[in-house]
Amino acid sequence: MRKIVLPEFQDYMRAKNLVNEKYIRFYAHWANKFLSFSKSNGNLSYVYRFRSF
């Protein structure tokens, strides 16, 4: 069984029709990776976290 990554974010993308349905899991996966990276690098500003990612 697959773990659903960021289900609320997936629902939001689906509801707003922001991403083609077949790519929603892909975007949620990378958003989750960025959030995890940001959490472990909280001492950096958002701009530097984004660039370092």
DSSP strand E in the chain: where? none
Lookup: tokens for 53: 């990612």
Query: pLDDT for 8-34, tens place per residue?
Result: 999 999 999 999 999 999 999 999 998
Contact 53, 34 (CB under 8 A): yes
In a domain, 1, yes or no: no
DSSP 4: P
How many domains does one find in the chain? 1
Contact 53, 31 (CB under 8 A): no
Q: Residue 1 pLDDT > 80, yes or no?
A: no
Domain coverage including residue 34: 7-52
Residue, of 18 and 38, whose pLDDT is higher: 18
In a domain, 24, yes or no: yes
pTM: 0.76
Residue, of 2 and 8, whose pLDDT is higher: 8
